[in-house]
Every structure is written in structure tokens, then in C-alpha cells.
Amino acid sequence: MESRRNEDRKEPEIVYSKSVKAGKRIYYLDVKKARNEDLYLCITESKRKQQGEDEAPQFEKHKLFLYKEDFAHFMEGLQDVIGFIGDQLGSFEARPERKPEDAEANKENSDPAAEAEEPEKKKGLFNLFK
């Protein structure tokens, strides 16, 4: 009987998805449709675990489900804590985007003066709530 329950239960449909790359982590923001046709947000943090050179990469994932009746309270709380961090730090900058092909080149040809000239782009979750 247990196996029949698992067969009947299917993964909720993803109706919209956005991924946010942030350093070694990727955040997936998926809007899913529940059985009752309501929409909800599933936030998944995916972080690559350190493995040996000959092993296949593994990922550690954490999920947070946020339902529509909680959106306003969540946004209010998130704006509050991001504002607090901004007040404490004065400002915060997004991490520069890193591309795998650039990682090898940067190891050999690092030029701090050239990096300082390029203005950093502000983006990420922090700027959604300003």
C-alpha cells in the first residue's frame, strides 16, 4: 500500500522558475502549483560539496516553502533585517560574477589595479528589497 501512495503522489508542477548564482551557491526560486491550484514559492539552496578529484560532484540542498498567506510577513521581515545589515555596514556589495573559464586565468594573471577600476554591479536578493 505504501508504494501505491508514492506512485499517486507526483511532484508539484513548476509554473515559473528563476536561479540566482551567488558564489559557491545557487538559489532556485520556483513557483509551484499545489493540488488545490494555489501557488507557493519553493526556495532551494544548492551548495556543491567538496569531493575528491575523481569523484562525481555532490550537492547539498536545503528547501524552504513559502505560502501566499505568509508573503507579506516574510517580505516585511526580510526588508527589516536587510535594512539592519545595510545600516550596520553602511553598504554592501554583491560578489563579482565568476565564470569557470575565468578562474584559471585569474590565478595566473591577477591584476588588482585593473579589478579596482571596474565598478561592481549591485544585484542579488538584497537589491530586490530596497
Per-residue model confidence (pLDDT) at position 37:
92
**pTM for this entry:** 0.62
pLDDT in tens, 34-84: 999 999 999 999 998 877 777 888 889 999 999 999 999 999 999 999 999
Q: What is the β-pairing status of strands 25-33 and 39-49?
A: antiparallel
Tell me the HSE value of 21 on the side-chain side, using a 13 A CA sphere.
7
Which element (helix H / strand E) includes 20?
Answer: strand 13-22
CA angle 99, 129, 98 (to 5 degrees): 5
Within 10 A of 74 (CB to CB), how many other CB atoms are there? 13
Of 127 and 97, the structure prediction assigns the larger pLDDT to 97
Average pLDDT over residues 120-124: 43
Go through the domains of the chain in sequence order and give each one's CATH number: 2-128 (3.10.450.700)
Say which amino acid occupies 48: R
Say yes or no to pLDDT of 116 above 70: no
